[in-house]
Amino acid sequence: MKLQKPKGTQDILPIEAAKWQYVENLARETFTKYNYGEIRTPMFEHYEVISRSVGDTTDIVTKEMYDFYDKGERHITLRPEGTAPVVRSFVENKLFAPEVQKPVKMYYIGSMFRYERPQAGRLREFHQIGVECFGSNNPALDVETIAMAYQLFNELGIKDVALHLNTLGSPESRAAYRQALIDYLTPIKETLSKDSQRRLEENPLRVLDSKEKEDKQAVENAPSILDYLDESSQAHFDAVRQMLEVLHIPYIIDTNMVRGLDYYNHTIFEFIAKVDTSDLTICAGGRYDGLVEYFGGPQTPGFGFGLGLERLLLILEKQGIDLPVAADMDVYIAVLGEGANLKALELVQSLRTQGFTAERDYLGRKIKAQFKSADSFRAKTVITLGESEVEVGQVTIKNNTTRQEILASFKEIETDFQSLLQRLS
C-alpha cells in the first residue's frame, strides 16, 4: 500500500493554511457587505444533479466526474462545481417561497473534485469560493456581483487582472447564434481538432472556447453572438456595460468566451490574470435564468461565480504579494526545572482562558533555546518560571521588544494579566 496522498491532491500545512484563512476571511467579510449568507451543501450529490445541469457533453461530465455506485446502488458523484448543488438546495428547501426575502444571496467555500491531469493550478481536489444570487434579473445585480469579485481582488492587491465580458443572450438568441455558428463551421470542419469536430455536433459554442491552435485559427472570423441578440438581450447587455462604466470597472468584450458550462445565458464573465506570460482564469461566472426551473422550481433568475482558491493563491505568490498573516503571540513561558511543570500548566491555561495567546516549554530545554522559541513565535512578553519562582509565588515578566521587566505574583497573572501588560507597554 502506498502511504501517500492521492495524485492531484494537496496537504495544506499550517503556514500555508494561514494564507488560505486570510483569503477566506476576506472573502467572507466582503460578501457579508453585499448581504450574502453562507450555504454548506454535501460534498457528494446524486449524479443526475450534476450531469444534465452542467451539461452532458461538457468536459466536466464526460471526463472529469468522480462518480461511483454506493452500497445502496445509488449513482453518486463528488461535486465538481458549486452552482448545481446550490440550485438543487434552493429548490429542495423552497427558498423560492414568497416569505423568503429576494434576492436570495448565498456563498460557499469548499472542495470540488475533478478527474483532471494534474499540473500547476490544476488539481483533482481543489477549492472554490463561489456565490449565487436568486430572484432578480436586474442587470444591476450582474454588475454588483462582478464588482464584489473585483473588490476582493483589489483588497488582496492583485495586479493585472482583466475582466472579460460576453453575453449569450436569451435562449432564442443563443439558438439563432448556434445555427449561424454551425453554418460557418461545417464547411471548414476538416480544419478543426478532433475534439472540436465532435463539439460541432454536440455543442458548437464550445468550439469557440477551445485552446487548440487550429481551432483558434478557425474561429477567428466566426460570426459574433452580438449580431444575433434580440432586443431584450441587447438591452440587458447594454445596461450591464453602462453600469460597469458608472462604477469605473474596466472590461474587455470577448465574444469568443462562452464558458464551459451549459446553464448560462445573458451575461457571462471571467477575470483573467497574467502569470509570467500566460493567462490564468481565476474567477468565472454569469447568469443562469433557467436553472431553478430545470430543478423543478418556479422560473427564477440566477447569477453567480466560482473562484479557484489554489489559482488565486498561485497568482498572489507569482505576483510577490505577501499576505499579512504572521501573528504575534502574547506570552511565552520559559520553564526551568521539573518542579515548575505543574505551575507552568496552570499559568498558561489561565492566560488562555483570559483570552491571550500563550505557549510554554514542554521539553526541559536550556534557557537560551527557550528564549529563541519565544522570538520565533514573536512573543510580546516572556515569563521565566523556575523552581525558586514557584516557591516564592512571583515571576518576572519581560517585554520582549523593550526588554523592560516587572515583577508579578501568580495571583495577579491569573486574575488580571491585562493590567500587567499595560504596565509593560
Site residues, ligand ATP (CB under 6 A)? 81, 114, 116, 121-123, 126, 128, 260, 281-282, 284, 306, 308, 310-311
The least distance separating ligand ATP from the CB of residue 125, rounded to whole angstroms, comes to 8
Closer of 287 and 311 to ligand ATP (Cβ): 311
Closer of 142 and 310 to ligand ATP (Cβ): 310
Closer of 159 and 378 to ligand ATP (Cβ): 159
Pull the grid cell for residue 123.
488539481
The least distance separating ligand ATP from the CB of residue 68, rounded to whole angstroms, comes to 19
The least distance separating ligand ATP from the CB of residue 8, rounded to whole angstroms, comes to 8
Pull the grid cell for residue 211.
485552446
Q: How far apart are CA 193 and CA 197, in angstroms?
A: 6
Three-state DSSP state, 118: coil
Which DSSP string do the residues of 336-373 spell out, in sequence order?
Answer: ESGGGHHHHHHHHHHHHHTT--EEE--S---HHHHHHH
Closer of 31 and 126 to ligand ATP (Cβ): 126
Closer of 280 and 344 to ligand ATP (Cβ): 280
Q: Residue with CB nearest ligand ATP? A: 308
Cα dihedral sign, 316-320-323-329: positive
- The DSSP letter of residue 82 is S
What are the angstrom distances between the C-alpha of 17 and each of 14, 169, 407? Answer: 5, 41, 38
Closer of 96 and 115 to ligand ATP (Cβ): 115
Closer of 114 and 174 to ligand ATP (Cβ): 114
Other C-beta atoms closer than 10 Å to the C-beta of 329 total 19
The least distance separating ligand ATP from the CB of residue 12, rounded to whole angstroms, comes to 13
Q: How far apart are CA 139 and CA 286, in angstroms?
A: 11
Q: How far apart are CA 235 and CA 167, in angstroms?
A: 11
What are the angstrom distances between the C-alpha of 4 and each of 9, 11, 58, 398? Answer: 10, 10, 31, 45
The least distance separating ligand ATP from the CB of residue 128, rounded to whole angstroms, comes to 5
User: Which has the closest alpha carbon to 263: 41, 52, 90?
Assistant: 52
Closer of 90 and 126 to ligand ATP (Cβ): 126
Burial 43-57 (b: 16+ CB within 10 A, else e): ebbebebbbebbbee
The least distance separating ligand ATP from the CB of residue 315, rounded to whole angstroms, comes to 10
The least distance separating ligand ATP from the CB of residue 206, rounded to whole angstroms, comes to 10
Pull the grid cell for residue 350.
489561565
Closer of 213 and 403 to ligand ATP (Cβ): 213
The least distance separating ligand ATP from the CB of residue 257, rounded to whole angstroms, comes to 10
Closer of 111 and 354 to ligand ATP (Cβ): 111
Q: How far apart are CA 413 and CA 143, in angstroms?
A: 54
The least distance separating ligand ATP from the CB of residue 338, rounded to whole angstroms, comes to 51
Three-state DSSP state, 286: strand
Other C-beta atoms closer than 10 Å to the C-beta of 226 total 16
Q: Which amino acid is at 109?
A: I
What are the angstrom distances between the C-alpha of 312 and each of 35, 162, 233, 258? Answer: 23, 14, 32, 22
Pull the grid cell for residue 411.
495571583
The least distance separating ligand ATP from the CB of residue 127, rounded to whole angstroms, comes to 8
Closer of 58 and 384 to ligand ATP (Cβ): 58
Q: How far apart are CA 316 and CA 69, in angstroms?
A: 39
The least distance separating ligand ATP from the CB of residue 414, rounded to whole angstroms, comes to 49
